[in-house]
């Protein structure tokens, strides 16, 4: 079988806040059917046996759905191909003799934990602020009681596919998280079940996004190009409309009269 | 010897759960705030449990080893979730779902648990739809269904090929709501390394922060483990690389019984292995068997040929031939063994000869390429990414791979282990799938346990515990557990041997696949039981774990998990050896029918084997819980 050999130029950084640098590692005689992460496994085993510390990188499902893997490969989040995650990138996409630059997702809101691993917990905080429909277990009506037009359910699914990897942030020169937030706001806002909390949701999620230090959107749409699920930037426009409406409504809204108080 | 009281409520099958809910003790709302519950894991079972318990008013701490609860491997489930809604008007009912699950499990699950699962299945769909899960819909706006293996009705709800993702994100959103409200304390990057048992009750855990390496102690009134299955014992599987057995294994070593460890599900439709560097096998959803037809050449001389050039009469659609009633939709264990059989005959395809075709040309003729793409497009894309082949043009090549483990910690009807205060949910327990799980039933069980079972049953336990009586994390049991972890970590780091952790994991995987995989026999299992202890010794003497304990150290994490896999692999082989019958996913070559199907031995093995740890170097004790079939007659499965 024809094999290939490449040189990896990898970002090494011992811990958050410490200085890092690029280090070169040869990776020889690789099977082109090997995945990019399997190559890192092999390099890491070699480093281990040499007494060096292996390269830390995040990964889990290795089938493009959990959103754990990251990596900027030759300047592109999730590597050379559109619509796939790093873990679905195979060596047949590279040429023998290539120099491959491997970096973490870089953004102020995603501090490096070690080497190629970053802290993306800001995404969880945005979800905790409003990325849900409040429903107590056991209180839901029959699932077919609320029909959802197929086109809207399909569109909601397009947005809901987001795997929360953060490539959109890494691809954006402003480190904006708009595509991520818009995907969640769009998904829940398209479903009839999501209407009751629609205004509250978009206001809270955008506010938390801003507080986490993500930048604004300048409409370059690098986010969507880097997205492993190719989530459309149309959802950003949709979120902006929702946000504007909710802001205007909240400005004119009178506070509701207290609804609490003891019963008989 | 452990006491295994299944606590199955008396009375007619269909009334048990309703009556049990009335009989269980309640905790009043003001007291709920005084109880602290630890939930380990945030997949479907863990996230739904943590969110629901917090919503009820309990104080919940949720621990995940991932960087976010949304990463749990439930997310990778593709095909769907079963529920007895009968929206298709095709004859489904709670009883039929119950019966299919019992039969699919080859009569090795507990009737009462399975019936409850079927009952609450309908509530799950309601709950998830209300959360905004974007299920597939028909043009009228109502929910769509598809069919799945082991059933003759269409009861599977789905969201494209990403049903697990959407259901997990639903549970994650519920959990996020409770975290945002301050009702759940969420600890990410936190791996449970020991269970703490005080006066015979599970009362806490010791956790390692994977970023800083710090150990911390957490006391609680009850501990819920929802940490998934242990298929990564085989190294190569469809599991995520991080999926591990450490939480349940260490609970086992603290006294929780481990039931039916040998029941492993080998999924028939995965992308075949290509090389020894491989880290992962990728599943192609069982839903593909709705429209794809499985075949190999009739004549082994034709195996190297271009499949499109092999004419129809020279193809053996072996599942349709052997099982005409269920055809390509027969249960997973049966489809996997059939694939093995045709490959053993030399008729397997692909470079390794370990593959069969899954062919969509008929479906494309019937539905058009666009129609097939709408149903399965993302799966065809995944297939293309991995193999560089276009499955719209040439048939997919598939082969069975380890996918799920039906065994797990023993639990009673309340999902409580033999250690009081320890609850086990989802794939981590053994209770609902017997010796074989049907497709689209794992998601159902995870959410049933978390949303609809544990919220009731945990109260029954907590009501017997004085509010605020949990031990202090300074208690001697916590100190002892923490010291043991420190000692193990120091040992792993100090060996400085000559092989990386992955080396041992691969060797264990080979042993398990060879001797405890799709077909097992006495001499092979005995061989494995000699080789695995030797491998364990070699691991502890020659493993190389770089770095230190006080940093982010993925090698150290992996070393601890592989150490546990090696011990668990041995128990799996022992369980497979002692179960002298074939049932579901456990196929002993000595016990088969003339036509190669499983030969069960209901007289001697109609029981769950619940293994009890007896200390390092001592043989574990095999306890049994008899399976009394009061309502269904145990019979030989027939899918012909």
With contact defined as beta carbons under 8 Å apart, do B399 and B270 qualify? yes
| Residues A105 and A129 placed together within one structural domain of the fold | no
Place of tokens 């902006």: A240
B76:A63 CB<8 A = yes
With contact defined as beta carbons under 8 Å apart, do B452 and B17 qualify? no
Rounded to 5 degrees, what are φ and ψ at B334? -70, -45
Give the model confidence (pLDDT) of B351-382 as tens digits: 889 999 999 999 999 999 999 998 888 889 88
Chain A CB contacts of B235 below 8 Å: none
Tokens of B632: 């269904």
The domain that holds A64 is classified in CATH as 3.10.20.30
Please name the residue of chain B whose CA is at the shortest distance from the CA of residue A156.
B134
* Residue A209 pLDDT grade (very low, low, confident, very high; cuts 50, 70, 90): very high
| A206 within domain boundaries | yes
| A136 within domain boundaries | yes
Domain ranges (residues) in chain B: 267-403, 476-613
Tokens of A60: 């889990």
Per-residue pLDDT, A263? 57
DSSP B223: E
Average pLDDT over residues B509-513: 96
Chain A CB contacts of B552 below 8 Å: 15, 56, 113-114, 117
B180:A129 CB<8 A = yes
Q: In terms of C-beta distances under 8 Å and separation of at least 24 residues, what long-range contacts does B182-186 make, across chains too?
A: B183/B54, B183/B55, B183/B59, B183/B60, B184/B50, B184/B51, B184/B54, B184/B60, B184/B61, B184/B62, B185/B59, B185/B60, B185/B61, B185/B62, B186/A124, B186/B62, B186/B64, B186/B69
Chains A, B: CB contacts under 8 A, how many? 221
| A261 within domain boundaries | no
Tokens of B533: 């202890």
Per-residue pLDDT, B385? 87
| Residues A238 and A134 placed together within one structural domain of the fold | yes
Residue A75: pLDDT over 70: yes
At CA B45, angle to CA A141 and CA B22, rounded to 5? 60
Residue A253: pLDDT over 90: no
Per-residue pLDDT, B637? 82
B48:A137 CB<8 A = yes
A144:B143 CB<8 A = yes
Phi-psi region of A17 (alpha: psi -120 to 50; beta: other; left: phi over 0): left
Q: What is the 3-state secondary structure (H, E, C) of A95-109?
A: CCCCEEEEECCCCCC
| Residues A39 and A132 placed together within one structural domain of the fold | no
d(CA B508, CA B514): 10
Q: Residues B332, B397, B470, B507: which is the catalytic one?
A: B332
Overall residue count recorded for chain B in this entry: 640
How far away is chain A from the Cα of B234, in angstroms, using its nearest Cα? 16
* Residue B286 pLDDT grade (very low, low, confident, very high; cuts 50, 70, 90): confident
Q: Does B497 touch chain A (CB under 8 A)?
A: no
CA A221 to chain centroid, in Å, comes to 15
| Residues A227 and A180 placed together within one structural domain of the fold | yes
B277:A131 CB<8 A = no
How far away is chain B from the Cα of A121, in angstroms, using its nearest Cα? 7
Q: Other CB atoms closer than 10 Å to residue B610's CB: what's the count?
A: 25
d(CA B86, CA B99): 15
B165:A163 CB<8 A = yes
Overall residue count recorded for chain A in this entry: 264
* Partner A, chain B 556-585, Cβ-Cβ below 8 Å: none
Chain A CB contacts of B75 below 8 Å: 61, 65-66
How far away is chain B from the Cα of A113, in angstroms, using its nearest Cα? 7
Residue A257: pLDDT over 70: no
Give the model confidence (pLDDT) of A84-110 as tens digits: 999 999 999 999 999 999 999 999 999
* Residue B16 pLDDT grade (very low, low, confident, very high; cuts 50, 70, 90): very high
Helix (H, G, I), strand (E, B) or coil at B532: helix
Chain A CB contacts of B275 below 8 Å: 31, 33-34
Per-residue pLDDT, B173? 98
Reference A169, options A62, A77, A68; nearest CA is A77
Domain boundary among A75, A96, A114: A114
| A75 within domain boundaries | yes
Domain boundary among A82, A114, A146: A114
| Residues A102 and A162 placed together within one structural domain of the fold | no
d(CA B19, CA A84): 50
Per-residue pLDDT, B512? 98
| A62 within domain boundaries | yes
Strands (E), B91-200: 156-157, 184-187, 190-198
B136:A153 CB<8 A = yes
The domain that holds A228 is classified in CATH as 1.10.1060.10
With contact defined as beta carbons under 8 Å apart, do A182 and A204 qualify? no
Q: Does B21 touch chain A (CB under 8 A)?
A: no
Residue A254: pLDDT over 80: no
B137:A138 CB<8 A = no
Q: Other CB atoms closer than 10 Å to residue B272's CB: what's the count?
A: 21
Residue B329: pLDDT over 70: yes
Tokens of A182: 């818009």
* Residue B596 pLDDT grade (very low, low, confident, very high; cuts 50, 70, 90): confident
> Top-level CATH class of B267-403?
alpha beta
Average pLDDT over residues B451-469: 96
The residue range of the domain holding A21 is 4-114
Phi-psi region of A83 (alpha: psi -120 to 50; beta: other; left: phi over 0): left
A45:B502 CB<8 A = yes
How far away is chain B from the Cα of A141, in angstroms, using its nearest Cα? 6
Clarify whether B332 is annotated catalytic: yes
How far away is chain B from the Cα of A207, in angstroms, using its nearest Cα? 14
Buried-state track B356-366, b at ≥16 Cβ within 10 A, e below 16: bbbbbbebbee
Across the interface, of A48, A114, A161, the residue whose CB is closest to B500 is A48
Average pLDDT over residues B64-88: 96
| A186 within domain boundaries | yes
Per-residue pLDDT, B577? 98
Mean pLDDT of chain B: 96
With contact defined as beta carbons under 8 Å apart, do B359 and B279 qualify? no
Chain A CB contacts of B137 below 8 Å: 147-150, 153-154
d(CA B336, CA B334): 5
Per-residue pLDDT, A256? 67
Which residues make Cβ contacts (< 8 Å) with residue B435, sequence separation at least 6?
A: B105, B106, B108, B109, B260, B263, B333, B406, B583, B584, B585, B586
Q: Does B465 touch chain A (CB under 8 A)?
A: no
| Residues A172 and A107 placed together within one structural domain of the fold | no
Chain A CB contacts of B173 below 8 Å: 127, 131-133
User: Which CATH architecture fits B476-613?
Assistant: Up-down Bundle (1.20)
| Residues A97 and A162 placed together within one structural domain of the fold | no
d(CA A82, CA A35): 16
Q: What is the 3-state secondary structure (H, E, C) of B341-396?
A: HHHHCCCCCCCCCCCEEEECHHHHHHHHHHHHHHHHHHHHHHHHHHHCCCCCCCCE
Q: Other CB atoms closer than 10 Å to residue B407's CB: what's the count?
A: 30
Reference B286, options B77, B597, B105, B518; nearest CA is B77
Average pLDDT over residues A35-40: 98
Chain B CB contacts of A127 below 8 Å: 70, 172-173, 176
B176:A127 CB<8 A = yes
d(CA B102, CA B482): 42
Give the model confidence (pLDDT) of B115-142 as tens digits: 999 999 999 999 999 999 999 999 999 9
B502:A141 CB<8 A = no
A150:B176 CB<8 A = no
Instruction: Give the mutation candidate from A29, A34, A63 for the B interface (greatest B CB count, under 10 A).
Output: A63
Question: Into how many domains does chain A fold?
Answer: 2
| A163 within domain boundaries | yes
Per-residue pLDDT, B636? 86
Q: Which H helix or E strand runs over A240?
A: helix A234-252
Beta bridge partners of B146: B156
| Residues A221 and A177 placed together within one structural domain of the fold | yes
d(CA B580, CA B576): 8
Average pLDDT over residues B338-348: 94
> Counting beta carbons within 10 angstroms of the beta carbon of residue B85, is it exposed (0 to 12), middle (13 to 18) or buried (19 or more)?
buried
DSSP B448: I
| A180 within domain boundaries | yes
Give the model confidence (pLDDT) of B173-187 as tens digits: 999 999 999 999 999
d(CA A130, CA A118): 23
Which residues make Cβ contacts (< 8 Å) with residue B337, sequence separation at least 6?
A: B518, B519, B587, B596
Please name the residue of chain B whose CA is at the shortest distance from the CA of residue A195.
B132
Per-residue pLDDT, A262? 58
Domain boundary among A54, A89, A114: A114
| Residues A127 and A239 placed together within one structural domain of the fold | yes
Q: Is this structure's pTM higher than 0.80?
A: yes
Tokens of A263: 């019963």
With contact defined as beta carbons under 8 Å apart, do B434 and B629 qualify? no
Across the interface, of B66, B125, B180, the residue whose CB is closest to A68 is B66
d(CA B39, CA A222): 39
B188:A124 CB<8 A = yes
d(CA B84, CA B98): 9
Please name the residue of chain A whose CA is at the shortest distance from the CA of residue B278.
A38
Residue B397: pLDDT over 60: yes
Chain A CB contacts of B66 below 8 Å: 60, 68
Please name the residue of chain A whose CA is at the shortest distance from the CA of residue B53.
A137
How far away is chain B from the Cα of A154, in angstroms, using its nearest Cα? 7
With contact defined as beta carbons under 8 Å apart, do B334 and B320 qualify? no
Reference A146, options A101, A94, A192; nearest CA is A192
A64:B69 CB<8 A = no
Give the model confidence (pLDDT) of B531-564 as tens digits: 999 999 999 999 999 999 999 999 999 999 999 9
Give the model confidence (pLDDT) of B228-259 as tens digits: 999 999 999 999 999 999 999 999 999 999 99
Chain A CB contacts of B385 below 8 Å: 64, 84, 88, 90
């Amino acid at each position: 079988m024809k094999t290939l050999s490449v040189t990896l130029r990898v970002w090494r950084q011992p811990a958050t806040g410490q200085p890092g640098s690029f280090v070169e590692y040869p990776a020889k005689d690789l099977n082109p059917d090997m995945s990019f992460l399997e190559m890192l496994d092999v390099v890491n085993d070699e480093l281990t046996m040499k007494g060096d510390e292996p390269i830390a990188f995040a990964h889990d499902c290795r089938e493009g759905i959990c959103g754990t893997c990251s990596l900027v490969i030759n300047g592109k989040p999730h590597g050379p191909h559109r619509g796939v995650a790093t873990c679905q990138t195979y060596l047949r996409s590279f040429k023998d003799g290539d120099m491959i630059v491997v970096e973490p997702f870089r953004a102020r809101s995603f501090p490096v934990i070690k080497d190629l691993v970053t802290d993306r917990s800001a995404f969880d905080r945005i979800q905790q602020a409003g990325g849900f429909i409040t429903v107590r277990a056991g209180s839901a009506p029959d699932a077919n009681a609320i029909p959802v037009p197929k086109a809207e359910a399909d569109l909601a699914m397009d947005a809901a596919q987001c795997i929360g990897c953060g490539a959109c942030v890494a691809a954006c020169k402003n480190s904006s998280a708009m595509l991520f937030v818009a995907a969640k706001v769009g998904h829940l806002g398209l479903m009839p079940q999501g209407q009751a909390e629609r205004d509250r949701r978009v206001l809270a999620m955008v506010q938390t996004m801003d507080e986490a230090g993500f930048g604004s959107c300048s409409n370059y749409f690098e986010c969507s190009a880097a997205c492993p699920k190719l989530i459309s930037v149309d959802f950003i426009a949709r979120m902006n409309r929702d946000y504007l409406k909710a802001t205007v409504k909240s400005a004119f809204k009178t506070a509701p009269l207290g609804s609490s108080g003891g019963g008989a | 010897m452990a006491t295994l009281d299944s606590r199955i409520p008396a009375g007619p099958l269909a009334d048990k759960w309703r009556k049990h809910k009335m009989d269980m003790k309640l905790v009043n709302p003001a007291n709920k705030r005084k109880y602290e519950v630890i939930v380990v894991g945030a997949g479907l079972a863990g996230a739904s449990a943590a969110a629901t318990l917090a919503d009820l008013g309990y104080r919940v701490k949720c621990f995940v080893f991932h960087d976010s609860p949304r990463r749990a491997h439930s997310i990778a489930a593709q095909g769907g979730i079963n529920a007895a809604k009968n929206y298709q008007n095709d004859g489904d009912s709670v009883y039929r779902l119950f019966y299919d699950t019992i039969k699919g499990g080859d009569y090795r699950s507990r009737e009462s648990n399975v019936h409850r699962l079927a009952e609450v299945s309908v509530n799950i769909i309601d709950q998830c739809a209300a959360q905004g899960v974007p299920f597939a819909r028909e043009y009228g706006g109502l929910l769509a269904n598809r069919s799945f293996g082991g059933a003759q009705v269409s009861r599977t709800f789905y969201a494209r090929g990403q049903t697990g993702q959407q259901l997990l994100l639903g549970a994650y959103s519920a959990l996020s709501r409770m975290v945002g409200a301050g009702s759940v304390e969420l600890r990410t990057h936190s791996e449970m390394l020991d269970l703490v048992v005080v006066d015979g009750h599970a009362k806490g855990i010791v956790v390692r922060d994977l970023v800083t390496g710090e150990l911390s102690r957490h006391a609680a009134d009850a501990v819920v483990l929802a940490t998934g299955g242990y298929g990564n014992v085989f190294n190569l599987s469809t599991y995520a690389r991080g999926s591990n057995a450490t939480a349940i294994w260490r609970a086992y070593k603290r006294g929780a019984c481990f039931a039916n460890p040998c029941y492993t599900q080998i999924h028939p439709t995965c992308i075949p292995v290509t090389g020894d560097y491989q880290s992962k096998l990728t599943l192609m959803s069982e839903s593909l068997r709705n429209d794809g037809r499985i075949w190999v050449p009739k004549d082994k001389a034709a195996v190297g040929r271009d499949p499109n050039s092999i004419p129809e009469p020279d193809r053996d659609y072996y599942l349709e031939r052997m099982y005409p009633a269920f055809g390509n939709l027969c249960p997973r264990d049966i489809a996997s063994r059939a694939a093995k059989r045709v490959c053993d005959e030399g008729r397997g395809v692909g470079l390794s000869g370990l593959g069969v075709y899954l062919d969509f040309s008929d479906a494309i003729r019937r539905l058009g390429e666009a129609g097939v793409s709408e149903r399965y497009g993302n799966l065809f894309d995944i297939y293309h990414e991995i193999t560089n082949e276009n499955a719209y043009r040439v048939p997919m090549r598939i082969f069975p791979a380890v996918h799920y483990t039906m065994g797990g910690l023993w639990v009673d009807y309340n999902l409580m282990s033999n250690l009081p205060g320890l609850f086990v949910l989802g794939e981590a327990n053994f209770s609902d799938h017997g010796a074989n799980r049907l497709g689209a039933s794992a998601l159902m069980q995870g959410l049933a346990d978390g949303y609809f079972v544990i919220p009731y049953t945990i109260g029954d336990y907590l009501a017997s515990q004085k509010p605020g009586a949990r031990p202090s994390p300074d208690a001697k049991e916590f100190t002892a557990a923490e010291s043991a972890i420190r000692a193990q970590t120091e040992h792993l780091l100090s060996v400085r041997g000559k092989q990386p952790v992955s080396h041992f994991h691969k060797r264990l995987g080979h042993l398990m696949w060879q001797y405890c995989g799709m077909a097992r026999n006495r001499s092979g299992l005995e061989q494995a039981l000699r080789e695995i202890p030797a491998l364990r010794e070699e691991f502890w003497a020659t493993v190389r774990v770089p770095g230190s304990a006080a940093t982010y150290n993925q090698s150290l994490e992996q070393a601890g998990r592989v150490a546990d896999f090696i011990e668990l692999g041995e128990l799996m082989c022992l369980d497979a050896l002692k179960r002298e019958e074939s049932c579901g996913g456990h196929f002993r070559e000595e016990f088969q029918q003339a036509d190669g199907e499983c030969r069960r031995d209901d007289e001697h093995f109609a029981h769950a084997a619940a293994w009890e740890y007896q200390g390092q170097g001592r043989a574990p004790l095999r306890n049994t819980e008899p399976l009394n079939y009061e309502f269904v007659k145990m019979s030989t499965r027939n899918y012909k």
